[in-house]
Chains A and B, each alone.
Chain A
Amino acid sequence: MNGAAASRALAGRDSWLGQRCPTVLLALLVLVSAVSVLILDIRTLGILYGALVVGVLATARIGVRRLLLAQIPFAGFGLGVVMVNALSRPGTELWPHLPVRVSAEGIAIGIALALRTLVIGVGAVAFTHVTEPKRLMMSLIRHAHVSPCYAYALLAGHRLLDTLPAQWRTLAQARLIRRANAPRGKQGRRLTLREHASCAFALLVGAIRSSERIAFTLESRGLAQGPRTMWKPVTCTWRDGAMAVAVLGAMAAVVVLGRG
């Protein structure tokens, strides 16, 4: 992670939302995502999306620009969803003279589905922006009774993940050096599919070797199912309750508004 990205991430973790209990945050995110799956109405989803964007901007210390940038892939995907649905759903044909069938129902459903993607996406972006993995895992151990073995294994996996890009670079170089023809320039150093597969396999072999050593290290630190203390416990306060009430209230209001 470069310096700028690191400082952005820190800003998110220091934000109001970042100070909340990650377990509560995760539960609310699941709820919002799940509710959005049950709705197929442009108006309700539109209001929900708007409310979420405002809420995230107010509490997550994420700039408008960054939020928009993070949404671009979803917007692209959403556009595809609109097109596919417009073309693939039977219904009233809007432009009968076109060689393909474009239905009004298809467009309506397509827009709703695209909005659903955006709703889920903005939640996911905000969650990753404010949540530190270590804090989330500690919170899950404490509040969601997740096994510390699994939580710490995931954290160790996070550390391993950090080392993979450098390993990948070395593996790629090792493939290039053994080619019959010297790789020249950026284009010449692009890996073939076969070389990609070979790199992937070598990466997997190395990672499995590492996994055995990591498991031993964790266990030799006394990690087990039994009782344990927590150096920096993640607490759940009245603010988390307030947040939950506010989000639930807002959801209810949105659904009612959408119906009306």
Chain B
Amino acid sequence: MQGAELRARELEIVLPGGDGVGPWSGTIEPGEAVLIIAPSGAGKSTLLRALAGAIPQHVRAHVTGSLEIFTAGGRIDPVAGGVAATAGAVGFVGQDPAAGVAMRIVADEIALPLESRGVAPALIGQAITLALGAVGAAHLQDRDAAALSGGELQRVALAAALVAEPGVLLLDEPTAMLDGEGIAAVREALRVVPADVTTILVEHRLDEWTAGEGVEGLPSRTIALDRSGRVRADGPTDLVLREHGRALLEEGCWVPAQTELALLPELARRLEEGTAALDPAASRDSAPLHGPVGAGRVAAASEAGEVPRTQGAPAAEVMLQARAVTAGWGETPVLQGVDLELRAGEITAVIGRNGAGKSTLLTLLAGLLDPWEGEVSGERTGLAFQNPEHQFLMPTVIEEIALGDPAGAGEALERLGLADLAGRSPFSLSGGQKRRLSLAAMLAHGRRVLLADEPTFGLDRASTHEVLAMLREAADGGAAVLMTCHDLRTIAQCADRALLLENGRLHALPRGGTPEALTADPSIPARAGMSVPPLLTRILGAGLPLRETLFALASPGVAPEIPGPVSSRDGAAELPVAKGRREGAAR
């Protein structure tokens, strides 16, 4: 099918809660590629769902104005016709990989749109093979969807969308729930989308999406929405980002690194010049200090030709310790020979590929899984789960915190900015609010070891910084923090060191596993399926301290001061982090 044209006139959608998007008037030409960029809650997914015909049929909302899709086959009204009317012309890939594939067997999922279109049965088998092959998923044809990774599921969903030869392809944060490798695989798969297909992309981690290509790697046109869902700008992507980048940043959007840098000319100039110290090693002095952790780490550090640093602050108290632990589920061990020490005041990141055993490690350290061999000893741990909803067990927000800390719940809600929502169900909060509430509820138990499974997963920029600030505050308050993470920028901004989990073995990393070490040697993060964001390389290359610089970037409006090349750790902790942002109260 040829690309379709989209035409909207004063299109405005208001959800039952009062959130809305639009009014938007505009035309998207056949074959055009458009990026929609907006902070969380601005309704960018709502807009995309409307284009797919899901509003108001699936998502209850009040729609005014008009929306039309013109295809070779005629005119479609997605609002009146619903998904059934758009199904033949619009392909959709959403955030949640599990819900994007509805059938158990992959081939059945691809067959479904073909059968619905009345394709002759004899032709379907070949079409399935071709469609899966195009997205690099031919080997998955007979597999059970339950056994696929998120990246594989998203590719299957893409194949199922493309096999119907849509005129419009809608991509609603297709990589939000994926790790680095999954993102790369989906990005690669999207290359097969024919050039004449109109593509509309909602994506917030733009640097990951473009894999360092910067603004050039993005769709050429961008529609930016403000926090309340009104159209802020609509035009060429580079122009929109240049003119509205600061506003987008301040509202909590992720924007490409080069846009961020453009907003901090002083920092950009310093990165350009690279004056301070071109030797990345120099900047490591600014890295947080910590004592040797476990014999394995000393050995690894020595191998890297470096003496472990023990100068400065005395080694903090060990809060949790694992010695030579082997553990697993059923018959097969998942973890083998795990040695680990977590110290007060320290944030440790564990990196590793899907299936390396990260969840099992957290379960083990949390005391929910008994080691087969070796032992885990130390303080009682708290564990924040990846999906905050898994953790909610009380009917209201305030009770959720009061469960661990009856006396301090009210005050904790004030600090979280959730005081207005105290009586609401925790399930009814926004994504970022849920994540912060689940962390705060866990912290309320006063445990001195906090484990967090991908705490910033799928969050927008503002919420990410808030969550990281909470983790840092906990560590500064004397807790030992361990988080799994697959984003090096997050690690560099927050963690003191990283450990690599590979095939069930936990490895100490060269040079203490500091973010600087990971940035300087991309082969290490690569073992965890992660890539080094070019921004980090540039910061390090200019001899600037990673964490402080990233903190400065985190809040350009609040902290225009650019840190010097070398600064103390205390200085870092005091830098303001997304100060004063209150999500719930404002809406």
Contact = CB atoms under 8 A, between A and B. Distances in A.
A206 interface: yes
A34 interface: no
A127 B382 CA distance: 47
Contacts of A173: 363, 366, 368, 383, 385
B121 A230 contact: yes
Nearest to A205: B427
Contact of B404 (A162, A178, A214, A222): A178
Given A217-B100, A219-B87, A159 B146 contact: yes
Interface stretch (A66-74, A91-99, A150-158, A246-254): A150-158
B380 interface: yes
A8 to B, nearest CB: 16
Given A162-B146, A174-B390, A233-B121, A228 B385 contact: no
A259 interface: no
A61 B102 CA distance: 30
A231 B116 CA distance: 10
Interface in A211-260: 212-224, 227-233
For B87, B92, B393, B445, the residue with the greatest tally of chain A CB atoms inside 10 Å of its CB is B393
B184 interface: no
Contacts of A222: 84, 87-88, 112-113, 116-117, 164
Interface string A173-200: 1111110001111000100000100100
A231 B104 contact: no
A178 B391 contact: yes
A93 to B, nearest CB: 54
A134 B142 CA distance: 14
Interface string B136-167: 00000000111000000000010011001000
A241 B164 CA distance: 38
A177 B307 CA distance: 38
Nearest to B400: A178
A202 B427 CA distance: 9
Contacts of A198: 393
A202 B116 contact: no
A159 B145 contact: yes
A7 interface: no
A228 B111 CA distance: 11
B390 A171 contact: yes
B52 A220 contact: yes
A202 B434 CA distance: 14
B121 A231 contact: yes
Interface string A128-156: 00000010000000000000000010011
A59 interface: no
Contact of B102 (A152, A171, A233): A152
B382 A177 contact: yes
A210 interface: yes
A177 B83 CA distance: 42
B29 interface: no
A210 B99 contact: yes
A185 B102 CA distance: 38
A199 to B, nearest CB: 8
Contact of B367 (A175, A183, A213, A228): A183
For A198, A212, A220, A224, the residue with the greatest tally of chain B CB atoms inside 10 Å of its CB is A220
B125 interface: yes
Interface string B92-106: 101010111111110
Contacts of A219: 58, 82-84, 87
Contacts of A174: 383, 385, 390-391, 393
B273 interface: no
Nearest to B125: A231
Contacts of A224: 84, 87, 116
Interface string B104-122: 1100110111111111110
B389 A205 contact: yes
B70 interface: no
B90 interface: yes
B409 to A, nearest CB: 14
Contacts of A170: 385, 387, 390
B116 A228 contact: yes
Contacts of A205: 389, 427
A216 B121 contact: no
B392 A202 contact: yes
Contacts of A177: 366, 368, 381-383, 442
B54 interface: yes
B341 interface: no
A242 B575 CA distance: 82
A151 to B, nearest CB: 11
Contacts of A175: 393
B124 interface: yes
Contacts of B211: none
For A170, A184, A206, A219, the residue with the greatest tally of chain B CB atoms inside 10 Å of its CB is A219
Contact of A213 (B99, B115, B116, B389): B99
Contact of B103 (A159, A171, A176): A159
B251 interface: no
A159 B84 contact: no
Nearest to B98: A163
A229 B391 CA distance: 44
Contacts of B264: none
B250 interface: no
Contacts of B146: 159, 162-163
A155 B103 contact: yes
Contacts of B54: 216
A88 to B, nearest CB: 43
B267 to A, nearest CB: 41
B90 to A, nearest CB: 7
B160 A221 contact: yes
Nearest to A6: B144
Contacts of B112: 152, 218, 221-223
A221 B99 CA distance: 13
Contacts of B19: none
Contacts of B32: none
A159 B104 CA distance: 5
A156 B103 contact: yes
A156 B102 contact: yes
A220 to B, nearest CB: 5
Given A152-B102, A228-B115, A220 B83 contact: yes
A231 B145 contact: no
B558 interface: no
A145 B86 CA distance: 26
Interface in B337-359: none
Interface in B70-96: 82-84, 86-88, 90-92, 94, 96
Nearest to B394: A198
19 contacts: A134-B108, A155-B108, A159-B145, A162-B146, A173-B363, A174-B383, A185-B370, A206-B390, A210-B96, A212-B58, A216-B92, A217-B99, A218-B102, A220-B92, A220-B161, A222-B84, A222-B164, A228-B115, A231-B115
Of all A-B residue pairs in the complex, the 10 with the closest CB atoms, nearest first, are A222-B116, A213-B99, A219-B83, A156-B102, A222-B87, A231-B124, A221-B112, A231-B111, A221-B113, A198-B393
Given A167-B390, A219-B83, 5 more contacts: A174-B385, A213-B96, A219-B58, A220-B87, A229-B119
